[in-house]
Structure 1
């Protein structure tokens, strides 16, 4: 079942979300309106398991404003949910905004659990009595910050789930019985191999503020899932969305824009930046979104360097392509700049896209899939050492201090990213330039463009040392 948390801004919805999910997924801050996009996660309350949806706070603004667009996101979450957790702040009392939102919730006709939050201490029960005026049933005196009232919430939520199940059972009684064909060979059993979905590829979408990351995600999934607009810095939480393209499942994570570290001074922006970097660390592939009209600025290069150091598969999305007047010249310059300015992932794919029109988006997702395939590649030890012999003959390691360095053997230690170990006579003095020569040779020979490669040097043990 889907359970949505509703309420006006700054009543503790995200704190409740983190409490029930058991992780600090949503950013929590005293500033009103921190949450802007709805977030879904699996939650558990004692023996109850359900999908929990955190929503933006209701502020009763005009639909053309940012707050009005946040409200549209909230209404979509309420449409999808089976049960509502309606949260009020007992310290502030019942406000006109609470009454307006409660009226909307009542009209929807779905089960509602009324939570009187911030009801810590002895006076909490008395303060929660005012919530009766909303007409949403008995309020539960609750403290999301301290976890008080969880047992009462569990009982109320269980009753609401039973009511939903009863309604669903009643609806199924009136549904017409459809004739079905049974495959004689399978004797009516489902072919589990055919319906077993592929494991989703985790993809983080990162970039500077206002380059179109949220618009790109909405276009990819074909739904207005993320809040968008001309304002910079709309996205604050790292929000994940699953979708399927062809036979491949993806888990896309939209993130807050990354600015230069010196400019990140507000506590809320620090939390958003930390959330973005956390999403990047857990991703398999990263789409770095650049503005096609101003590509490869200093902050773009810092972001690309950060992704490469984390060892993720990289794809560059050159967004706002509909604004480019000389497309052929621009794409050639962008690919040349990518090879020159991002040597850690030489050959990284650059895909021109328009998040507004959808142009280039299917190719972008195909490129992400190919990048992850290369990122997961394993090269046999035999092929690797045959290449190593030719590479060292063509360009021998330099002599340091009058003594030549010998590289005797190489093997791949792991994938994702491809990591190699080279055994040589004097690893401590092998120049960094020669190590780059080896990594670029691996990348070119074994078709690994845009893949960060790790190389570790080890000294081979001398069997006669003792």
Structure 2
């Protein structure tokens, strides 16, 4: 089941980023910093009362001229509204209800999505409530007072937000077909790839306005098996500001990745890996999805016998945090190597859901420890007692040890490599959790 998506929207300067940071920065959520994911996060995983969701912040972009502010704000808000399951509509008690708030309220109303109306900068609930009531005029139900700065009222607000989450429908639960998200920068050829695959397979494309996400899913049949492709190209928006386009595509990417088993990151062979590619890859990596890197427009590259190796090495260096990702060189235009794409998707899905017996894992562990001493500190050495696989998608292992303080990521990677040497696990990340067990005796 994918996590629900909650978008914070509102006009500039109402405190969207402050609220976002208050939620992402508190103990409410654990935000992991993955290499390749920049600090100007616009999404974070939040955990409230054992309910997890992904929060998106649409704030912060303000082009200098007035009409562009509204335009940019409106476009961001539209994409966020379209992607979200629940909307937090943030307003500012000090400025009161302004015309732009009514415009945003109308957009939300048309979407039919559940909304929680939140009034920010209420530093004193006793004296300021009269000002809060003014926001009933927006016609979006009860306004909830909060202060993002002082972190007041956030619990009540989150209680209200999670009330709107729909329990997963039975249909969604039962859809066993592989879900593949095609992600990448704008104009890298995502739509061409899907069109080519659709054309090759002569299937009637059913655009399921699937889940609540409004993403257009395309069902493609290959060798009698159905695959659901989630396209993030979606609506083309002309934007004058480069960061806007990047932000929009990240919002789309987060929601597509959330629903996929396997993510195909398309890279432009002419450009190589860009910072934006690394950000997008980081999203899939953090969420533990199966990963394929498809280098597109390979037919347009002048080649000699070293070109592919050189390009591969460059991609591996720039996306060093996901050495497990499978790589393919394709052309969406000519269809070069597209049949191989399906074989790779099948293999990655199988690896993503692979289970390994505890006996074999412990043999690998004791051999690994015998070959290379675990790290030690001030005379205490890390002891690894036992390993077992606790879940799949992605494969997750618990290792029982004597002291968490002694663990080091390089040794975890060493153990991971030993497991991969035996089982491959190509295309899927592996997660490791350490549990302490006091020294026996």
Instruction: State the partner residue of 2:257.
Output: 280
Q: 2: distance between equivalents of 1:413 and 1:334? A: 37
Q: 2: distance between equivalents of 1:146 and 1:297? A: 37
Q: How many residues align?
A: 268
The structure, 1 or 2, with the larger RCO (C-alpha pairs under 8 Å, 6+ apart) is 2
Instruction: State the partner residue of 2:45.
Output: none
Q: 2: distance between equivalents of 1:220 and 1:145? A: 32
Which of 179, 182, 196 is matched with 1:205 structurally? 182
Q: 2: distance between equivalents of 1:201 and 1:208? A: 23
Contact 1:198 1:247 in 2 (8 A): no
* Residues 1:215 and 2:218 are matched in the alignment: no
Q: 2: distance between equivalents of 1:146 and 1:301? A: 34
Contact 1:315 1:450 in 2 (8 A): yes
Aligned pairs (5 A) from 1:57-96: none
Contact 2:185 2:249 in 1 (8 A): no
Change (3 A) 1:429 1:291: same
Instruction: State the partner residue of 2:361.
Output: 384
Instruction: State the partner residue of 2:243.
Output: 264
Aligned pairs (5 A) from 1:77-156: none
Q: 1: distance between equivalents of 2:270 and 2:384? A: 46
Contact 2:272 2:315 in 1 (8 A): no
Per-residue deviation at 1:271? 5.4
Instruction: State the partner residue of 2:406.
Output: 429
- Greater Rg, structure 1 or structure 2? 1
**TM-score normalized by the length of structure 2:** 0.55
SS at match of 1:294: coil
Contact 1:253 1:279 in 2 (8 A): yes
Contact 1:204 1:280 in 2 (8 A): yes
RMSD, aligned α-carbons: 3.5
1:393-442: per-residue Cα shift (whole Å, max 9, x none)?
00110221111111010000101101011011112221121112112222
* Residues 1:245 and 2:222 are matched in the alignment: yes
Q: 2: distance between equivalents of 1:388 and 1:423? A: 11
Per-residue deviation at 1:321? 1.4
Which of 377, 380, 385 is matched with 1:400 structurally? 377
SS at match of 1:264: helix
Which of 364, 373, 392 is matched with 2:350 structurally? 373
Contact 1:345 1:452 in 2 (8 A): yes
Per-residue deviation at 1:328? 4.1
Aligned pairs (5 A) from 1:223-372: 238-256=215-233, 263-265=242-244, 270=247, 273-326=250-303, 328-372=305-349
Q: 1: distance between equivalents of 2:338 and 2:276? A: 24
Q: 2: distance between equivalents of 1:328 and 1:241? A: 37
Per-residue deviation at 1:144? 5.5
Q: Comparing 280-289 with 343-352, which one deviates more in the overlay? A: 343-352
1:9-44: per-residue Cα shift (whole Å, max 9, x none)?
xxxxxxxxxxxxxxxxxxxx977xx89xxx9xxxxx
* Residues 1:457 and 2:434 are matched in the alignment: yes
Which consecutive unaligned segments of at least 5 residues does structure 1 have? 1-28, 40-119, 121-142, 148-196, 227-235
Q: 2: distance between equivalents of 1:144 and 1:340? A: 46
Q: 2: distance between equivalents of 1:225 and 1:264? A: 36
Q: 1: distance between equivalents of 2:339 and 2:316? A: 23
Q: 1: distance between equivalents of 2:194 and 2:111? A: 32
Q: 2: distance between equivalents of 1:317 and 1:425? A: 42
Q: 2: distance between equivalents of 1:338 and 1:275? A: 23
SS at match of 2:321: helix
Which of 371, 384, 389 is matched with 1:412 structurally? 389
Contact 2:382 2:401 in 1 (8 A): yes
SS at match of 2:279: helix
Change (3 A) 1:316 1:411: same
Contact 2:361 2:387 in 1 (8 A): yes
Contact 1:238 1:256 in 2 (8 A): no
Contact 1:334 1:350 in 2 (8 A): no
Q: Which runs of 4+ in 1 moved over 6 A?
A: 223-226
Q: 1: distance between equivalents of 2:321 and 2:112? A: 46
Per-residue deviation at 1:345? 2.8
Per-residue deviation at 1:327? 5.9
Contact 2:291 2:325 in 1 (8 A): yes
Per-residue deviation at 1:270? 4.9
